[in-house]
Structure 1
């Protein structure tokens, strides 16, 4: 009789071990700055670079609850602005130079999950310029199929002077093959921004959800985490088709593959960093892939961080001053905060603890 219960028991134990949150490691790297806390639940950060003085750059982060909002921080972690009372803002991204009434405007775009829309804000003032929001996943009928979650902004160079900004948006659930929708953003004569669907794509395993999305503008790729499965890679440009270029990191995470950050050493090289959420580490891969195969991404490091249960992350290679001379890495942590790391700390770990 007891033999009948051996396999279910073992399966339960294996699942429990996999789901258990690891403690922060004794050798975890320490943040340079921790932001002031928000009232609810931080989730995803994005960086806006000041055009004249990078030390005055800003971090925009989501506070993910009904009644939450976008919070703006300086590089010392102090909250300097906010837009609140939103219906569960989930993820956020930043882009530069959207043409509105003949003026180039920097923008932050967030998914407002329970309102089924995108919200667009001008930067650095964080003023809404979307006439109340851009509806997303219109016509989808399934439960939670209109609940926007992940977002990444793709800047497509049209010519030397003109760019087109497109939002690649994920959701709580949806069909494989069209889980992600891509919207072309455009400025209107009244000073607002609207969006037009130009693409539906993206394989989905059906196992959990897709939240983290990141775009590499220079190399032209979009990455997203199919949680518990791996990281999927496609062309960011809709005109290049919907072929999946890579699925990697399948065996590298303890359970959930979460936030994705791209650190660019130059236009072609750098690192992809993926949150190994239950392990409180970040998986590191070469941005450019392996020699002879740009779509082969092999684990080269696993960095223990002080963040706990990290969802969203971002990275940028800019001299932000004495605290962040070679760039910054930002990761959400439990406690309603974001951790800001001097990139040099991560680079030292990658150099000193390579995975062969």
Structure 2
């Protein structure tokens, strides 16, 4: 069954519209719950995760993680490796389910090929490389995947500050893409996430801060959510961004503040109040080291075995030493809610 198209057109100039900020908040520790096997390469290898929930058996859910020296690594929820797809240097990955196909779809930013597309079998969980959609622009860096009804749209970010929106069309045996819109920010971008309910695309500008773009509106311009200069806990590099999705458009945005080994949580809806700042500390009982220098991250707000309130998955730069056996760490969202005193919301 083919994807339907989501039409996004036009280009826009950028104006800076700063949101109100709040006073800095204390940084609280949260213990890591579990971890994956290493990504499988020394040096700077692991980069970004994405969570896929099995439609009928949550215990078979998966974590997709990029190894930017090799390709895609697929893990079970217990952290064991399930698959390895050595397709080349991919950087970021994202998943959206129920896009009108018999298969779920993941996309990754491929340094040399553009948008790498993967199918995920909704029964077996098998991940396959479908094909690549060339973007025609040097080194796609970050990526995120959104949906509207049965439509798929990929956001692709670049080091020159550009974010492109690509309409996706096709089936599990081949996907094509059409460039629908391009927006330019001042400096290097990477992480992004679609908030379909609120009609926004959240973007991380590494040296500057976090932005929101009303991507359904062709005349929209990016609006600041937070900046490094605002001193709310965010520092460069602003790396991964994701969303815990509650009902009625409520929930929380999580952004990685890489150089400080911490994360900032914002209210999902404008004016995006800062809800807390946290670090991820070692789980000594389980023999799991702390998390440092996180690049990409993903949040899943549905119930999973052992994670009734959802899960946060983050890249860990050192396991335990910097750029050695990099892997991905798992965090029980309920522990984050408690540590930060977040209101307990119903999941989307």
Indicate the TM-score class for this superposition, using the shorter chain for normalisation.
Answer: 0.7 to 0.9
Report the equivalent of 2:339: 349
Given candidates 190, 193, 196, the residue that maps to 2:178 is: 196
- List alignment gaps of at least 5 residues for structure 1: 1-24, 141-145, 158-162, 289-293
Say whether residues 1:50 and 2:32 are aligned partners: no
Instruction: Give the secondary-structure state (helix, strand or coil) at the position aligned to 1:347.
Output: helix
Q: For residue 240 of structure 1, report the CA deviation from its aligned partner.
A: 4.0
Report the equivalent of 1:312: 296
Going from structure 1 to structure 2, the CA distance change for 1:220 and 1:27 (only over 3 Å counts) comes to: closer
Q: Summarize deviations over 1:140-160 as a string: whole Å, max 9, x none.
A: 5xxxxx101111111012xxx
Say whether residues 1:148 and 2:140 are aligned partners: yes
Say whether residues 1:221 and 2:220 are aligned partners: no
Report the equivalent of 2:268: 287
Say whether residues 1:277 and 2:258 are aligned partners: yes
Q: Using the alignment, how far apart are the partners of 1:240 and 1:46 within structure 2?
A: 28
Report the equivalent of 2:7: none
Report the equivalent of 1:5: none
Say whether residues 1:248 and 2:223 are aligned partners: no
The within-5 A match list for 1:133-212 is 133-136=132-135, 138=136, 140=137, 146-157=138-149, 163-174=150-161, 179-187=162-170, 191-202=173-184, 204-206=185-187, 209-212=188-191
Q: For residue 254 of structure 1, report the CA deviation from its aligned partner.
A: 3.1
Instruction: Give the secondary-structure state (helix, strand or coil) at the position aligned to 2:220.
Output: coil
Report the equivalent of 2:314: 331
Aligned residues: 292
Going from structure 1 to structure 2, the CA distance change for 1:227 and 1:60 (only over 3 Å counts) comes to: same
Given candidates 69, 82, 85, the residue that maps to 1:83 is: 85
Q: Summarize deviations over 1:10-42 as a string: whole Å, max 9, x none.
A: xxxxxxxxxxxxxxx997322111100012211
Report the equivalent of 1:109: 107
Tell me which protein shows more helix as a share of its residues: 1
- If you compute each CA radius of gyration, which structure gives the higher value, 1 or 2? 1
Q: Summarize deviations over 1:117-162 as a string: whole Å, max 9, x none.
A: 11111103211222xx1101x2x5xxxxx101111111012xxxxx
Q: For residue 236 of structure 1, report the CA deviation from its aligned partner.
A: 2.6
Q: Summarize deviations over 1:23-78 as a string: whole Å, max 9, x none.
A: xx99732211110001221100001110002221101010012xx11011111001
Give TM-score, length-normalised by structure 1: 0.77
Which 4+ stretches in 1 moved above 4 angstroms? none
Instruction: Give the secondary-structure state (helix, strand or coil) at the position aligned to 2:29.
Output: coil
Q: Using the alignment, how far apart are the partners of 2:81 and 2:341 within structure 1?
A: 34
Computed over aligned residues only, the root mean square deviation of the Cα atoms, in angstroms, reads 2.1
Report the equivalent of 2:94: 93
Q: For residue 247 of structure 1, report the CA deviation from its aligned partner.
A: 3.9
Q: Summarize deviations over 1:285-337 as a string: whole Å, max 9, x none.
A: 1012xxxxx2x22322101113110011111111112x211110111001311
Q: Is the 8 A contact 1:213 1:259 kept in 2?
A: yes
Q: Using the alignment, how far apart are the partners of 1:33 and 1:104 within structure 2?
A: 31
Q: Using the alignment, how far apart are the partners of 2:219 and 2:50 within structure 1?
A: 27
Going from structure 1 to structure 2, the CA distance change for 1:184 and 1:44 (only over 3 Å counts) comes to: same
Say whether residues 1:340 and 2:330 are aligned partners: yes
Give TM-score, length-normalised by structure 2: 0.79
Going from structure 1 to structure 2, the CA distance change for 1:349 and 1:78 (only over 3 Å counts) comes to: same
Q: For residue 85 of structure 1, report the CA deviation from its aligned partner.
A: 4.3
Q: Using the alignment, how far apart are the partners of 1:128 and 1:98 within structure 2?
A: 17
Going from structure 1 to structure 2, the CA distance change for 1:243 and 1:192 (only over 3 Å counts) comes to: same
